[in-house]
Amino acid sequence: MTVSRQDVIDFVYAEARMLDERRFDEWLTLFADDGIYWMPLHHDEPNPKLVTTLFHEDMLLLKTRVMRLTGKNTFSQQPSSRCHHLLQAPAIDRFDPEEGEFTTWTSFLYTETRADEKIFYSGWVTHNLVLAEGKLRIKLKKVQLIDCDAPHRNLQLFM
């Protein structure tokens, strides 16, 4: 597969839409087998293995959280949480089709709602993408909240 810059940008937008539409099982297929979803607790944290994080989830933990979010007996999700991603156009920081590696940086505003409660977050997301079996896959999704070191409520969905 030949990957264009537009393919990489479209991937970021499609991923956010899947989350907004609660297509979690489909969203999981966007990850590489060793993909990681990471939300640091400290600004500009370079290494998730040396510090406490808000999230540092591999595929097992991501699948577990999706099962919890979609389970019929998950009473904390009745009614279900919903979200909306408002994304700035992704910047491509690395575009290396030879190696099959791509990195984007995207500024975002995120709203999560459940019943009559709304929570707002803003920050930046970095996607480290790899080409695997002819498709783009997420190797690392790092969500950097602008107020990552502030106290937060229970984050239900994925940013």
Q: Report the alpha-carbon distance of residue 73 to residue 64 in Å, rounded.
A: 14
pLDDT (tens digit per residue) in 15-74: 999 999 999 999 999 999 999 999 998 888 888 888 888 899 999 999 999 998 887 777
Range of the domain at 23: 5-70+81-145
Task: Give the lowest-confidence range in 2-11, 135-144, 150-159.
Answer: 150-159
Residue 153 located in a structural domain:
no
Q: Report the alpha-carbon distance of residue 128 to residue 120 in Å, rounded.
A: 25
Residue 39 located in a structural domain:
yes
Residue 150 located in a structural domain:
no
- Longest alpha-carbon distance in the chain: 49
The CATH number linked to 104 is: 3.10.450.50
- Give the tokens for residue 149: 């070191």
| Number of domain units in the chain | 1
Cis peptide bond upstream of 151, omega within 30: no
